[in-house]
Amino acid sequence: MNPQEQYRQLPSVDELASSLANLEERFPRRLIVSECRRALEAARALIRSGGQAPAALALEVTKALEALARPSLVPVLNATGVILHTNLGRAPLPATVMPPRYSNLEYDVASGRRGRRDTHTGVLLERLLGRPAIAVNNGAAAVYLALHELAADGEVIVSRGELIEIGDGFRIPEIMVRSGARLVEVGATNRTRIEDYRQAITPATRLILRVHPSNFRMEGFSGKPALDELAVLAREAGVPLYEDLGSGCLLPMREHGIDEPTVADSLRAGVNLVSFSGDKLLGGPQAGILAGDAGLVARLRRNPMFRALRLDKLVIASLESTLRHWLFEEWHAIPALRMVQLSPAEIRRRAESLVRAWGRPGVEVVDGESLAGGGSTPEQTLATALIAVDGDAAAFERRLRAGTPPVIARVADGRLLLDLRTVDPSEEPSLLEALRQLPEAKP
């Protein structure tokens, strides 16, 4: 059929919408008409490109309406073993009571006057860190706010080896430019000395910036000054030392296989201001936390951009809950921390139990490795036990991902791999049901 004949056979918008009148009990007519128009435009574009228009346009519109009615953000089962999986929302959130209606977000109930929204998390952060602190909507926002307030129209000294790129292509130098600060690079890519910083200080210097490379690791002939050396230099120069820690580890985790500096380590070394993420090793929602000298934190809070970057009430509720668990040492209530602390033996017991319940041939439990993930602890792994499934691994992975709920697994060496470190025990029945839907291996 030539294009002109195809065009003539397309119904009008009204004709197509009238054929779907039975859907008006579920969808507004305005939306039905809009989707009919969209489907017809897509059909004409297909004809223009040399293709064939769909034979059942009404069915296409119905599918589109059904898709709009389904939530886009849905729970998934993370069986990858990557604890802070960036594409799956990083840290799994602790249970949080979300105020369903009104709340005292910016209202002081005791005085009956306007309050401040950062009070809900600020008190907990100060107890945890021993310094005043504020929170904004993510780690990049924290860096931007610090540079905008402390170094706009001035110079910031940073090592060339720390000009990192973070998630989704954002680069530290680009954030600095947007903040109004002027970047002064010192040292070499792999090696920076304290004298490099000293020689770069001028009357225009406003800040010395240290960026912890939490998403990569430099090995071999490399080096940089210790934090306490930089702190002494910053005091001599009369400028603040600011460290972007990234992952924000609050407690030493070396015994669990994670070797990251803690926020307390940085503050004790003399860092004046430190920032870190809320949804990495803290185990909470997406947020950027800034803590340090009272005068600097007060300046950040007064900066007009603080309002533009402030947290929403739902994030505040989740962050408050996470911080309270930290304060009262309720490690079990923070899913990410609980996953980090799981022993390989415990994971193996759970994996073997699930394999027995599944009863499928060609499945075994093997030693493997989990990852912290989320731009944290590069090349640092945690010993684990993996469920390894023989067969068409790529097809199995697609089948699991298409289920309800979707199961996200790994494929390596031609086998489907599942790591129960990142699967909560309460999710195991759903995982087992999804696995039982996989087709049997061909003899």
Q: What is the CATH number of the domain that holds 269?
A: 3.40.640.10
Q: Could you give the number of structural domains in the chain?
A: 3
Residue 230 predicted with pLDDT over 90: yes
Q: Over range 205-211, report the average pLDDT.
A: 95
Distance between CA atoms of residues 60 and 431, nearest Å: 32
Domain boundary at 278, 297, 330, which? Answer: 330
Do both 56 and 173 map to the same domain?
no
Residue 255 predicted with pLDDT over 50: yes
Do both 311 and 355 map to the same domain?
no
1 occurs within a structural domain? no
Cβ atoms 238, 203 nearer than 8 A: no
Q: Over range 23-47, report the average pLDDT.
A: 95
pLDDT at 221: 47
Domain boundary at 299, 330, 361, which? Answer: 330
3 occurs within a structural domain? no
Q: Over range 375-382, report the average pLDDT.
A: 68
Instruction: Pick the range with the lowest mean pLDDT from 34-43, 134-143, 171-180, 331-340.
Output: 171-180
Q: Over range 412-431, report the average pLDDT.
A: 97
CB burial string 181-193: b at 16+ within 10 A, e below: bbbbbbbeeeebb
pLDDT at 214: 59
Do both 197 and 254 map to the same domain?
yes
Q: Which of 164, 128, 421 lies closest to 291, judged by CA?
A: 128
pLDDT at 160: 85
CATH number for the domain harbouring residue 419: 3.90.1150.180
Cβ atoms 105, 315 nearer than 8 A: no
Do both 430 and 294 map to the same domain?
no
- In sequence order, the 6+-apart residues with CB closer than 8 A to the CB of 65 are 23, 26, 27, 31, 32, 35
Cβ atoms 186, 192 nearer than 8 A: yes
Residue 375 predicted with pLDDT over 70: no
Distance between CA atoms of residues 388 and 367, nearest Å: 10
97 occurs within a structural domain? no
pLDDT at 383: 94
Do both 56 and 81 map to the same domain?
no
Cβ atoms 260, 247 nearer than 8 A: yes
314-323 residue pLDDT tens: 999 999 999 9
Do both 54 and 137 map to the same domain?
no
**Mean pLDDT, the chain, as a whole number?**
91
Distance between CA atoms of residues 279 and 281, nearest Å: 7
Q: Over range 390-397, report the average pLDDT.
A: 96
Q: Which domain holds residue 359?
A: 77-87+338-436
Do both 177 and 296 map to the same domain?
yes
pLDDT at 104: 94
Do both 249 and 124 map to the same domain?
yes
Do both 326 and 381 map to the same domain?
no
38 occurs within a structural domain? yes
280-312 residue pLDDT tens: 999 999 999 999 999 999 999 999 999 999 999
Residue 434 predicted with pLDDT over 90: yes
120 occurs within a structural domain? yes
Distance between CA atoms of residues 439 and 441, nearest Å: 6
162 occurs within a structural domain? yes
Environment class of 429 (CB within 10 Å of its CB; exposed 0-12, middle 13-18, buried 19+): exposed
Domain boundary at 330, 348, 364, which? Answer: 330
Do both 277 and 356 map to the same domain?
no
Task: Using pLDDT thresholds of 50, 70 and 90, give the confidence band for residue 217.
Answer: low
Do both 220 and 307 map to the same domain?
yes
4 occurs within a structural domain? no
Q: Over range 166-180, report the average pLDDT.
A: 71
Residue 376 predicted with pLDDT over 60: no
69-125 residue pLDDT tens: 999 999 999 999 999 998 999 999 999 988 888 999 999 999 999 999 999 999 999
Do both 47 and 175 map to the same domain?
no
Q: Over range 212-238, report the average pLDDT.
A: 78
pLDDT at 164: 66
